[in-house]
Structure 1
Amino acid sequence: MCGIVGIIGKAEVAPLLLDGLKRLEYRGYDSAGIATLIEGRIERRRAEGKLGNLAARLAAAPLPGVIGIAHTRWATHGRPNETNAHPHATARVALVHNGIIENFQELRDELSKAGRKFETETDTEAVAHLLTHYLDQGLDPEAAMAKMMPRLHGAFSLAILIADRPDIMIGARRGSPLAVGYGDGEMYLGSDAMALAPYTDRICYLHEDDWVIVSRDAATIYNNGKRVNREVKKTALSGALIGKGNHAHFMMKEIAEQPAVIGDTLQAFLNPLKRQIELPPLPIDLAKISQLTIVACGTAYLAGFVAKYWLERIARLPVELDIASEFRYREAPMPKDGATLVISQSGETADTLAALKYAKAQGQKVLAVLNVPESTIGRESDVVLHTLAGPEIGVASTKAFTTQLVVLAALAIATARARGAIDAQREAELSTALTEVPARAAEVLNHDARLKEIALKVAECRDVLFLGRGTSYPIALEGALKLKEISYIHAEGYAAGEMKHGPIALIDDNVPVIVVAPSDDLFEKTASNLQEVRARGGRVIFFSDKAGIARLGDAAMAAIELPTVDPFVAPILYAIPVQLLAYHAAVAKGTDVDQPRNLAKSVTVE
């Protein structure tokens, strides 16, 4: 996850900003930068690599100023060099940005026609130019922000300096977290309260679509053009509370982080100008491999299950999918012109590592989808495709799963292009669908209160069934896995078409049936299964989009309307409500949500 720190204070802020960035190092990054205001102008110091490089730049060319913003960046589009490092700036505006601006190309074209000159290919630069454009029209910062916010589509957080206003800094958030810290004659912005811990124990978390004008003594928060009040909380500077933010559990915090980390991960593989996926150099020719073998455990296995659908259907590449603990014992013959893909959050999963070694012994090149590239699996693999989820503390995987899906979706698109299975137009369509996911994920989180109500009913049950077809089938399996591992309720996921082959015998009014059914080309098949459940007294909880709810919402005990998206990206979004359902059911039952019994975050023994 990219990191943001902002300070408006009494003393020079560059050393404090650098210190704040150091506390965000755990998120991972490969470039960093700081901007301050000095006598009405913006000054920046940026560097690729670790913070030591930025510290060296600051030692060689000190950066005075009592107001500043800072950023650690994962390389998204473009190399992790100084040009692409944040802060980005015009003559009047400097800003740092986490997330994705979906409509940046539209804004870029509009602003270019108005005479604005762009120096990078990033979406961030479009925001800097748009705000500058409004300021140049004579608007004050408040009016310029009020006009800009509705123009930005996507999920993002921003920290902003304005050259001729050294008395304020500005923050904004939509789908990506941002906190305001309150000090004594000093104020702060941070994407993570951990960065602000040494300076203040009074934190205010901005709500969705909030933006804030921060002075040395106060913060004025706006939403939808109106001033609003947000609670300022006193936090424990040491201990878990600061890491959990304003959430009761790490799991809920990590669910809420998904719009941000999905955006971070996506940008690492997406060229936003070309709407094209760009993978790192691979040890295999995607156009020529005869088979891809995917091996993983638990939730990572289910991410691989979704990828199997994507790769076979979109890229026309045959895929073998195996549970890592069983794979090597089959002694499966592996084609010489094939490749193996392993998936793991920790990169230390013992069974997956053993499967990797078997594949290498069979002459396979190994790709790995990992959240910890420097892990054992990362070192043993030929190439790592990195999920930028940041640390995941809760044992039940949430943001690691959805970022795995993002990486696998990118791999599927790139493979399809390499094999001639899709043309440039379809690649652009699929890539554009991916860019919409962070903002749509933020919309899904708005259903949290309703999902909590439903979960209270689920928590009273002994058995729960999940049904889905196509890519929704692995999501049904994931929903069942999440529910059983943290709430201890017995739950099973089934392919909806298999219901008549056994599970239908379990259905009565004591067994909720959770149906995952976006309105894709398999929707009518699933609709038939839903009606069969209803006819037997089953209580249906229905996850679908607007068209699906209109078609079958009345047949359900409860229905949650999710955003309408390209069916290709639906599994990423539909993972979120099943996570929330499991979370709230577990809370209702009083279980240890973050550390459920008998489970470990990383299974390092067979």
Structure 2
Amino acid sequence: MNILLGAIASSDANALLQEGCSQLPDQPYHFAHVCAFNDEILIQQAERYPAPNRTYPVGLVCLGFNPHDSGLTLFRERVLVALLGHLENTEQIMSKLTSLGYSHNLGQSEEVIAALIDWYDRIHKNFALAVQLALKECRGYFALAAIKKSSTDNLYCATLGPSLFIGQNQDGCHFASDAALIRTRSSLLIELECGEMAELNPRHIACFDSEGKPRKKSPLPAHAAGHFDYHMQADIAAQPLLLAQLIQHYQNAQLSGFLEQLAAGHQYQRVLLLASGSSHHAAATAGFWIEQIAQLPVHVEYASEYRYHNLIVERNTLVIAISQSGETADTIAALRHAIQAGHQDTLAITNHPASTLSQLAKYQLMQYAGEEMGATSTKTFSTQLLCLYFVALKLAAGKRIDISIAAAELNFLPNAVAAVLNLEEALKQWAQQLAKVENLFLIGRNLHFPIALEAAQKMKEVSYIHAEGYPGGEIKHGPVTLINRTVPVVACLPWDLMAEKMLANLQEVRARQGEIYVLSDVGLSSVEGFYCIRMPRKLPLLNPVLYTIAFQLLSYLTAIARGNQVDTPRNLSKTLDKE
């Protein structure tokens, strides 16, 4: 996940930035480094923290995994903006700026925001007010930093969702999107909330609410700010920003040249998806997307079984192999088998660019999920889903199918995911009850059946409950005989064309005195034995991502309630390198 770090000091900000970067996890990053001094701004791009050849009072560091998108721009040598996340209403703001005389060739979202700040600053001659007014006009899920080149005495940071932490010591003030990067230099940290902005100078921090009014913030002990008890908890919480960044990369056409090739009209007649474990559930979900959006036939195979089929190789087939590590032995063997059988166009979706799977495939699509410290798949699963959704969109675009409605859903996803995370207290109540059972069914229909399978796998992996995923319509064919007061059913119930049928399925469960737990995007009343949590706004195609994250949170909370060690589940390995 990308990281934003900034500092302003009375003499040299480099010490604060360098100390922050020394706290980074041991993994490769691309650095975009900003030095500001005496009305000058220098920007450096590097693979490691650059050693400046002079002191400077103001600095920023943008760290990411994608070297093509630093989220940094210096607009017309006047306004510098660093963006972390996704701007939702880019086109609307661009249209306004064009009418005001700004170039319609504004490219990245950070350029659009910088131009908007520049316009407000020209009107009001007040840079702090300009940042506040621009922020009020923006929609999305992002954090930003801003500097005015002609006045580097102040550094501004603001957020529309992601966490931003601010600290102060005798050297100056600093902020970061990850509290771990600054807590060693500040004993107390301030956390900005959605819509808030801070003005920093070497000796003072001023915070403002979403209306631009001064707001006094109570600092937190540094050790408590941004702290998570478990890696799985941190990985789940990281997903709104992570998905926002991935969407931003996609909309900037900076994820994969292959995606743009698809959109240009590369025609395929069918798609074959190869994967194992959680990745297979992502593939099964993508099968629905590709058939619905791109109108192509899809075949989804377990990688471990694919090698032993009598293959019929059909021309113009796109083969997609999915593995977060890129080292899953079954998936590598399946892709090799497909290539040897004569399939020429192969795509690897993975989190590791140097992996065996990436090198074996003709094309690559990186997830940019960062290191997943927990043993069970959370953020790597959601980024797999999103990458596969991108493929479905581009396959459709290549066939000249209108994708405007499907693509528009991406803009609403990060905030919807954040809203799901806000359901933690309600899900915790469910977890306290589910922690007492040893058997459990999870059901979904259509797009949500693979999500029920993934939810069941999560329950097995971390809570050690015997959980089974089923299509809602299949519960009556056998499983219904096992349902009673001690075997509850958890259901995905988005209010769509399948909702009435799912309610009928749940009536069969109710008739056998089975307890029912329902996730739905409509307000259903909870009564004894029927418990409902209302999900955020409906995203007809991307709903599976929202339900996935709700189930991740439920599995985590259930495991905690059972006293399990969620980060090191028994008998579970992160990467399976044996067939």
Q: Same fold by TM-score, threshold 0.5 exceeded?
A: yes
> What amino acid sits opposite 1:70 in the alignment?
V
1:568 and 2:541 correspond: yes
Residue 124 of structure 1 corresponds to 110
225, 235, 249: which is aligned to 1:254? 235
Q: Among 409, 426, 445, which residue is 2:389 paired with?
A: 409
Q: Are 1:269 and 2:250 an aligned pair?
A: yes
CA contact (8 A) 2:351 2:368 kept: yes
Distance (Å, rounded) in 2 between the aligned partners of 1:223 and 1:601: 43
Question: Could you tell me how far 1:482 is from its partner in structure 2?
Answer: 0.9
> Is 1:382 matched with 2:368?
no
Q: Which runs of 5+ in 2 are unaligned?
A: none
| Residue-by-residue CA offset, 1:211-236 (whole Å, 9 max, x unaligned) | 3233324434444446253442233x
1:43 to 41, 44, 47: 41
Report if the CA contact (8 A) 2:382-2:545 is conserved.
yes
The answer to whether the aligner puts 1:506 opposite 2:494 as a matched pair is no
**AA of the residue aligned to 1:318:** P
Contact 1:311 1:412 in 2 (8 A): yes
Unmatched 5+ residue regions in structure 1? 236-240
TM-superposition CA deviations, 1:252-305 (whole Å, max 9, x none): 1111111111122222222489xx997446699975434322111111111001
- Match of 1:405, SS state, is helix
Q: Distance in 2 between matches of 1:315 and 1:106?
A: 27
Q: After superposition, what is the alpha-carbon deviation per residue over 1:13-34, rounded to whole angstroms, capped at 9, x for unaligned? A: 357646755765866555x433
- The partner residue of 2:222 within 216, 234, 248 is 234
Q: Select 2:376's aligned residue among 396, 415, 418.
A: 396
User: After the TM superposition, which of the residue ranges 166-175 and 501-510 deviates more from structure 2?
Assistant: 166-175
Structure 2 residue aligned with 1:334: 313
Taking the aligned partners of 1:432 and 1:392, their CA distance within structure 2 comes to 28
Q: CA deviation at 1:462?
A: 1.6
Deviations 1:405-441, CA, capped at 9 Å, x for gaps: 1110010011122234x23xxx122111112211211
Identify which of 50, 54, 57 aligns with 1:66: 57
- Tell me the residue number matched to 1:463: 439
Rounded to whole Å, the distance in 2 between the matches of 1:416 and 1:598 is: 41
Q: Distance in 1 between matches of 2:114 and 2:145?
A: 11
Query: Displacement of 1:579 after TM fit?
Result: 0.7
Counterparts of 1:348-367 in structure 2, within 5 Å, are 348-364=327-343, 365-367=345-347
Determine the structure 2 residue equivalent to 1:34.
33
What is the match of residue 238 of structure 1? none
1:11 equivalenced with 2:11 (yes/no): yes
Query: What percent identity do the matched residue pairs reach?
Result: 31
Q: Which residue of 2 aligns with 1:98?
A: 84
Q: Quick one: distance in 2 between partners of 1:473 and 1:89?
A: 47
Which residue pairs with 1:453 in the alignment? 429
Alignment of 1:141-156 (within 5 A): 143-156=129-142
Any conservation in 2 of the 1:465–1:513 contact (CA below 8 Å)? Answer: yes
Q: Are the aligned partners of 2:6 and 2:60 in contact in 1 as well (CA < 8 Å)?
A: yes
Aligned CA distance change for structure 1 residues 102 and 74 (closer, same or farther; 3 Å): farther
Question: SS of the counterpart of 2:420?
Answer: helix
Once the two structures are superposed, what CA deviation does each residue of 1:50-90 show, in whole Å capped at 9, x if it has no partner? 347x66xx66xx6x520122213555xxx928xx7614435
Whole-angstrom distance in 2 between the partners of 1:347 and 1:439: 30
* TM-score normalised per structure 2: 0.90
What TM-score comes out, normalization by structure 1 length? 0.87
TM-superposed deviation, 1:533: 2.3
Residues 299 and 430 of structure 1: CA distance in aligned 2, closer, same or farther (over 3 Å): same
Question: Is 1:605 matched up with 2:578?
Answer: yes
- Aligned equivalents of 1:530 and 1:449: distance in 2? 25
What is the CA deviation profile of residues 154-195 of structure 1, one whole-angstrom value per residue up to 9, with x for unaligned ones? Answer: 110112223455443222223333322332232211223454
- In 1, the alpha carbon distance for the partners of 2:61 and 2:443 equals 46
Structure 2 vs 1, CA of residues 11 and 205 (structure 1 numbering), >3 Å: closer, same or farther? same
Partner of 1:33, secondary structure, is: strand
CA gap of 1:348–1:524, structure 2 versus 1, over 3 A, is same
* Greater mean alpha carbon deviation, residues 191-200 or residues 407-416: 191-200
Structure 1 residues 318 and 117 mapped into 2: Cα distance closer, same or farther (>3 Å)?
closer
In the alignment, which residue of structure 1 is the partner of 2:512? 536
